[in-house]
Structure 1
Amino acid sequence: MFKDGAVGFWSGYTLGMFRWLPQAAVTTAREQSRHIRDFTRTRRRRFTLVDDHLELWFLGAPTADLVPLLFGERFAAVWYRGVLIDPGSVRMRRSLRTHLTARPVTAVTATHAHEEHTGNLRWAADRLGASLHLSASVTEQLRAPARLPPVRDFAFGTPAPITGDVHDSSEGIPFPGGRLDVIPAPGHSSDHVVLHDREQRVLLVGDTFIDTYFSASNNETDGTAWMATLRHLLTLDFDLMVEGHGRVHTLRPDVPDLPGVVVREDPRRVMEAKLHFLQGLSDRAQHARARGLSVNRAVAEAFPWEQRPTWERLIPDELARLTSLGEFSRHRLIRSFLTTQR
């Protein structure tokens, strides 16, 4: 670490950035190539992961497609044993329509209220004759959706207000022959829930897991709550984890090898790694603030250059900050760990 003097610290930190910038650029170029390859492999396609149990329906729209191409976060509705989860944004409706006859749907739900997950909830439920199940918090938000920032509205479109009957999902969501447990999972947002099939050991985590080292968060993020959520999820029994943005983590032999979709790793281990990453950020940031340093200094100390994610995520995080007009950034995540701010 550098000495506490501001000039010495920021001089050293800036030099460190320039030192690691070439490696960051090479890593980003490789990741960009992977993003394009994975997007091409999955664009508007449907993948069966477990027969009669689990499918991913990849969605998109011309404006929304900029996100997976730049950042790798694809958009996929999850079909799980008759339950349609996170059916995309308003602008993705055309791509969702092409998948709707693939499987019978008895219930429609969302893991949280963000527009790329909720824009087609009522439309899909009505079109399929299915019941709509949401948490009370998500329902309240969607009855009168807040105005979206311009960038998000451009990419995804603002959902229409939810009308009609909505079943409270707090007691679980039924499917033929069973029920999904609905577990509060604040962190990415305060209203987030995770869905768990105890019998099949499947965890549908939505945006509770977006890459192990995801660090450009929005202003709804609560890093401390996120860590508590991950600790709780690690007490559950699961060996297959489905992200909200197009990846499945498992070592199960009954799940086929699907490049760009299935990641052959223990989902518990990657969740533990994410928890460890967030805990490290929190500890370093709070240590800086306890010494009376600024929030900017706390952010810098939370992301030291000797830590690989600092330089590996540098360019993607800066690109997220610039393209979102500051809504998504490392500062947002670090501020959420701090109880006092300057």
Structure 2
Amino acid sequence: MVTSRDLEAAKAGDESAFASLIAPFRRELHVHCYRIIGSVDDADDLLQEVLLAAWQGLPGFEGRSSLRAWLYRIATTRSLNMRRDQGRRPRLAPPPPFDPPSPNDRFELAYLQPYPDVLLSELDPAAQLVARESIELGFVVALQRMPPRQAAVLILCDVLAFTLTETAAMLSISSTAAKGLLQRARSSRPAFEAPGKETDHQEVARKFAEAFSRDDVDAVLALLTDECWLAMPPAVESYVGREAVASFLRASASGRPGGSYTLRPVQAGGRPAFVCYLQGRARGLLVIEPSRDGLRIQSILRVLDDGLHRHFGAPAAMP
């Protein structure tokens, strides 16, 4: 709980009071930066920038808005600046250790990283519910494809329930401009429908993990919808349709050195996911998107980032 004593002490330079003041907002600010930027690593960096800016700017905080709104203004500004920055830290895709087939599509969000559900345990139950719905991969992907300010207004108004007046103030625009951005964002946002029950997710995830870790491509394909797609950020190549996905999986199974993967189940972006291990070492992440009935799989996101395990509390090596 924010107290005037903590606020005044923090303004006077008391670092301990500042830490107490900011503590209730740290995780939700991290999630907010992630929604706008789509990367957990970048959200880590942004949160540190936000906290430094808040520490430096706190003596000038006059209380015209709530402390939470003031912090969200800083976080939104910093996130939009990073998103607009063409010099954003690139992530290079590792060369495949086998000869892959030619892709039939592109996945332009090379920086995308799913958000670890385990990190949401730091939020209170009500905030957890909001956060879980708004870190779902489909929603985050849609946000990344919107113009930055449209995405920011949609998040601030529809996810975080700030008023148009508050949102406009955070973005230094008029309420009329904020309303127009919100209308356009709502019209371009796809309709998301929740997949089946979580028990169904667990069953299809179990079948997928067993088949994938055996390199049983036929068993994996039996779980896929006809329109299934496979993407591998930061690589931009992707494969759309069961035949295209099958050709990639067969090439990987037959040409990959080091044997088969071992999968450790986690949750990422509200979906079943697995930290991948090859020869005992962490080798990125797999996220599957179940179909609406929970019986099939409509997408596979294979994130080629060997450092992602640390966000999920998974070890770098397995026995």
* Class of the TM-score when normalised by the shorter of the 2 chains: under 0.3
Q: RCO greater where, 1 or 2, for CA within 8 Å and sep 6 or more?
A: 2
What is the TM-score of this pair, normalised by structure 1?
A: 0.26
Structure with greater proportional helix content: 2
Whichever of the two has the greater Rg, that structure is 2
What is the TM-score of this pair, normalised by structure 2?
A: 0.28
